[in-house]
Amino acid sequence: MTIQMIISGLLISWVCFYALSKLLKERIDYKSSKTWIGLLINALSLIILYLLTNNLIRIIFYYIIFVFSVTIAFKEKNIINIFFNSFVVFFLFFIAEILFAICAIVFLNYTIDDIKVNCFNTLFGNGIVSLLFFVMINIKYIIKFFQNPNFMVYLKNNKNTIAIFTVSILTISMLLYYIFFEIPLLMGFIYILILSVIYLMLILGFFQEKSQNIKLQIKYEMLIKNLNEYEKMLEIQRLNNHENKNHFITIRGMLKDKNHKAYKYISNLLETKIADDEELLYKTKKLPIGGLQGLIYQKLLIMKEKKINISLEVSKRLDTILLEKISDLTNQHLCAIVGVLLDNAIEAVELLNERKVSINVYSEDGYLVITISNNFEGILELNKIEEKGYSTKGKGRGYGLSLAKQIMERDENLKLEREIIGNMFKQKLKLKI
């Protein structure tokens, strides 16, 4: 262990810590002993790993130790954020090394052997790479890209994307280490084969995920676009239904003593179909207009067709123009999530002997609250319910609730709570108004 190695280790450790502080939006506390302990652990591990090995294992072990040392030095305790942002630091440092190697080849006419001896693992080389890395991490567009909330939300909800990204960098790193440190050819091809198979599987999984999400998004976007017109038609249907009922009552009165069969048929019609339609139309009329009313009525018709026992309760104090107070985007998000919840409730009960779905709509403490409950059989794991592909209905299902979760992470006006009461699964959607 030489002075040059110690300085190089400390320099690389510091610049990596600095980069991570930028990504986490957290200042390095140089007065804290924990900061210096983390830096020293990181620097010593880098030097020791360099002395012990020259292959890909060094990167993997150093990454693990780096994450550990960061948890000591920084206040950030969300391990997912630390894990991902540490990977970003390694990725950007890797890019800085590539840029340095390219510059050495282009401007100094270096060969691979020259780069091995004079560039990497020397104080000069590490100093230049660290400087390049420092410049990169201070380019605001790079930082903004990785700090973009939509980018972070997307990554958190698309684990396959992170996995593909990780395997891609490992593959490139392995190939470069093969060039620089001459890993045995057979071992190199084994690495490539294994990583290629994993890479292919992840790509297929990724596109399946994207395909499912795109289909769901298109479905709900098309539905929401037509809901306002649908609500206008509902109002006309309410008037027609009421008028038709009056006509049937009049005709029934005329037939009472003349045609008993026709009288009985009309009476049955008034007591069943028209009464049922009138009840649905009357109850949904109390719902807020702007898409929600039409959406719930449409889902109620589907439930009626599937012979599902429906319970719809709407607070009398609810304002029908309530949704005019929120943005069009939040209204679309609300309708999309309610659509997902109702679709899932219908699918959960339609094959059961006993089929119950209840909907309650009311206002509470500055929130519009919509609760949707359905009975279920078997085991329901609440902690897994938002995972892509998780469903009690079989393989290839369960993407709707994951989509709902993504929408809520983009819209802070919406919250969703879940609980199980006996054999009833209750979901409570709250919209801030």
pLDDT tens for 261-284 read 665 666 665 555 544 556 666 777
pLDDT for 124 beyond 50? yes
CA distances from 56 to 10, 91, 178, 325, 409 (A): 21, 14, 9, 57, 37
CA dihedral 401, 403, 406, 408 (to 10 degrees): -60
More confident residue, 383 or 398: 383
Q: Which tokens hold the place of 113?
A: 């052997």
DSSP string, 25-61: T----TT-HHHHHHHHHHHHHHHHHHHH--SHHHHHH
For 149-212, the DSSP string reads HHHHHHHHT-HHHHHHHHHHHHHHHHHHHHHHH---HHHHHHHHHHHHHHHHHHHHHHHHHHHH
Q: CB neighbours of 175 closer than 8 A, spacing ≥ 6?
A: 188, 192
State which amino acid sits at residue 427. Answer: Q
**What's the confidence (pLDDT) of residue 372?**
94
Three-class DSSP category at 414: strand
Residue 202's alpha-carbon distances to 161, 205, 255, 409, in angstroms, are 8, 5, 71, 25
Express each pLDDT in 252-263 by its tens digit. Answer: 565 665 666 665
In DSSP notation, 73-117 reads H-S---HHHHHHHHHHHHHHHHHHHHHHHHHHHHHH---HHHHHH
Q: Tell me if 169 sits within 8 A of 91, measured CB to CB.
A: yes
The pLDDT of residue 375 is 92
Cα torsion angle, 299, 305, 308, 311, sign: positive
Cα–Cα distances in angstroms (integers) from residue 333 to residues 173, 329, 400, in the given order: 42, 6, 13
Map residue 368 onto helix, strand or coil: strand
CATH of 213-432, one of 3.40.50.2300, 3.30.565.10, 3.40.50.620, 3.40.630.30: 3.30.565.10
Longest dimension (CA), the chain: 114
- Of 28, 177, 13, 173, whose CA–CA distance to 94 is shortest? 173
Cα 76 to Cα 89: distance, rounded to the nearest angstrom: 16
What does the pLDDT look like over 160-187, one tens digit per residue? Answer: 555 666 666 666 655 655 555 555 545 6
* Tens-place pLDDT, residues 77-87: 777 778 878 88
Q: Which helix (H) or strand (E) holds 65?
A: helix 56-73
Share of the chain above pLDDT 70, in %: 59
At 331, is the secondary structure helix, strand, or coil?
A: helix
pLDDT in tens, 219-246: 656 665 565 555 556 555 555 555 555 5
Give yes or no for a contact between 82 and 53, defined as CB atoms under 8 angstroms apart: no
Range 293-305 average pLDDT: 83
Q: Which residue has the tokens 């038709």?
A: 244
> What pLDDT does residue 299 have?
86
Tokens of 254: 């005329």
Q: How confident is the model at residue 425 (pLDDT cuts 50, 70, 90)?
A: very high
Residue type, 148: N
What is the rounded CA–CA span in Å between residue 394 and residue 380? 13
Give the model's pLDDT for residue 134: 93
CB 374 within 8 A of CB 425: yes
- Residue-averaged pLDDT of the chain: 74
C-alpha separations of 175 from 23, 64, 172, 211 in Å: 28, 21, 5, 32
Inter-residue contact 431 to 345 (CB < 8 Å): no
Is residue 381 scored above 90 in pLDDT? Answer: no
| Cα separation, 142 vs 115, whole angstroms | 27
